[in-house]
Structure 1
Amino acid sequence: MAAREFTVNFNKPLVLQVGHLGETYQEWVHQPIVSYESPRFFESNFLEFFTRTVWWAVPTIWLPVACYCISMSISNGHTLPQIALMAPFGMFVWTFLEYCFHRFLFHIETKSYWGNTMHYLLHGCHHKHPMDGLRLVIPPAEAALLCVPFWYLFKFLFTPSASPAFFGGGLIGYVLYDVIHYYTHHGQPTKQVPKSFKKYHLNHHFRIQNKGFGITTALWDRVFGTLPQTKAAEKRSG
């Protein structure tokens, strides 16, 4: 069956279907369905369990790990003033990694069966069902696997005694990323700053999906020229 003739059946598990969309996958996945319903991914209940994560699992699991890592650097002789510099710098490094992941990996263009399938699992499902609260934060098993290369990256960049504090700061940055990301979709902010965060991110989902990749900060969008124009600026340039 030609890809252009394939239609996804939302009454069946989605993951093994989306690959058949071929070149039409990118257009399909960026047409969001605004529903709180959580679609089924797999026929297997075991696999399905690992695709659903409540938002509070992220701080519950990873903040203690971050604190333990920071305590390792304290045990290695670093003072609290030093920790107060290292951990925030680790958080800053995370903001750059967050931007790079979102822009270059999460928004990679695919058209092969397995490319589409992997992209859908990684990030495409979030763009197709942006209000699905159980598939908004990174599942703990996936996050644990991602921690391994980042641990070695921080060990490569920093000294053995300091790298745990930098890594712990990076983990705190990740926790903020996922919690803020969840809040931008499901929170109802009344203050200006969180309102602007929500507007900025939902703009990425529903208006200009190839810009506005920052979640915790728009800094790197400004640096790399992916800051989306406001509607007023678009009207003036148009």
Structure 2
Amino acid sequence: MVAKDFFVDLEKPLVFQVGHLGEAYDEWVHQPIISREGPRFFENEFLEFLTRTVWWAIPAIWLPVVWWFVSAAVQMHVPPSDIAISMVGGIFVWTLLEYSLHRFLFHIKTTGYWGNTLHYLIHGCHHKHPMDGYRLVFPPAATAILLVPLWNLIKFITPPSVAPALFGGGLLGYVMYDCTHYYLHHGKPEKGISTQLKRFHMNHHFRVQDKGFGITSSFWDKVFGTLPPKSVEKKNR
């Protein structure tokens, strides 16, 4: 049963508290706390460890996997031009997946205990503590679990000569996404596209949290009409 006047104690592990917020969860999680100090999620040390990831672990772990899949395509004597096209296709597919997950899963509205709890673990924690440097990238263990069915799906729907490079390209797109995401929060771009992307993403966090779902680009926001209002962009210049 949801407590009517439940308050989250920020000094205690948060994950099993937030579910009790019920309908108040959405408002609470979108009131950010600006601090580089991340909250504690679990009392259990091992579970807590699994939720914390340094950004450089993403390229260190997954770029060799990308190389392995591209090498598999080379060993199958797939022409270099076809490998390149498949990889670009994989990156393009990733950008749509990036946008779709962020818009339709990460920003789903929840009110029940387990819905709130799962949402907080998946994405809510990032909006509540947007500067937590150890929870800006996806934990590799969770990524590995998701990659297995995705690889099987790609093998099922694409020719054998296309699947390895397409999957490698998609995984490369993911690495670019997670590294970009970390940089947008902790980097200090001075000009150019990186400055525009940072402004776009900070608008999503601090001004219009139901718009601007792209991370590596605003392309799909333009396609699907989820760009923030121009008045918001002007205020942030």
Check whether TM > 0.5.
yes
2:85 corresponding residue in structure 1: 85
Corresponding pairs, count: 235
Residues 131 and 186 in structure 2, CA contact (< 8 A), matched pair in contact too: yes
TM-superposed CA distance for 1:22, in Å, is 0.4
Query: Could you say what the CA RMSD is over the residues aligned between the two structures, in angstroms?
Result: 1.4
Output the CA distance in 2 between the equivalents of 1:87 and 1:197: 23
1:45 corresponding residue in structure 2: 45
Residues 15 and 117 in structure 1, CA contact (< 8 A), matched pair in contact too: yes
Q: 1:161 to 1:232 in 2, by over 3 A?
A: closer
Q: What are structure 1's unaligned runs of at least 5 residues?
A: none
Query: What does residue range 150-189 of structure 1 map to in structure 2 within 5 Å?
Result: 150-189=150-189
Q: Deviations over 1:12-71 (max 9, x none)?
A: 000000000000000000000011011100000010000000000000000100110111
2:219 corresponding residue in structure 1: 219
TM-superposed CA distance for 1:234, in Å, is 8.1
Tell me the SS of whatever aligns to 1:18: helix
Equivalent AA in structure 2 for residue 133 of structure 1: G
1:111 corresponds to 2:111: yes
Residues 3 and 24 in structure 1, CA contact (< 8 A), matched pair in contact too: no
Q: 1:232 to 1:37 in 2, by over 3 A?
A: closer
Tell me the SS of whatever aligns to 1:134: coil
Output the CA distance in 2 between the equivalents of 1:233 and 1:173: 27
TM-superposed CA distance for 1:107, in Å, is 0.5
Q: Deviations over 1:134-156 (max 9, x none)?
A: 00100000111111222123223
Output the CA distance in 1 between the equivalents of 2:133 and 2:71: 33
2:57 corresponding residue in structure 1: 57
Residues 55 and 182 in structure 1, CA contact (< 8 A), matched pair in contact too: yes
Equivalent AA in structure 1 for residue 111 of structure 2: K
1:28 corresponds to 2:28: yes
Tell me the SS of whatever aligns to 2:41: coil
4+ runs deviating over 2 angstroms: 1-4, 230-235
Equivalent AA in structure 1 for residue 28 of structure 2: W
Q: What are structure 2's unaligned runs of at least 5 residues?
A: none
TM-score using structure 1 length: 0.95
Range 180-189 or range 75-84, more displaced: 75-84
TM-superposed CA distance for 1:79, in Å, is 1.3
Residues 35 and 129 in structure 1, CA contact (< 8 A), matched pair in contact too: yes
1:193 corresponding residue in structure 2: 193
Residues 29 and 125 in structure 2, CA contact (< 8 A), matched pair in contact too: yes
Output the CA distance in 2 between the equivalents of 1:233 and 1:69: 40
Query: What does residue range 91-102 of structure 1 map to in structure 2 within 5 Å?
Result: 91-102=91-102
TM-score using structure 2 length: 0.96
Output the CA distance in 2 between the equivalents of 1:180 and 1:169: 16
Residues 2 and 113 in structure 2, CA contact (< 8 A), matched pair in contact too: no
Residues 12 and 40 in structure 1, CA contact (< 8 A), matched pair in contact too: yes
Output the CA distance in 2 between the equivalents of 1:228 and 1:137: 24
Tell me the SS of whatever aligns to 2:134: helix
Q: Deviations over 1:140-190 (max 9, x none)?
A: 001111112221232233112210100000000000000000000000002
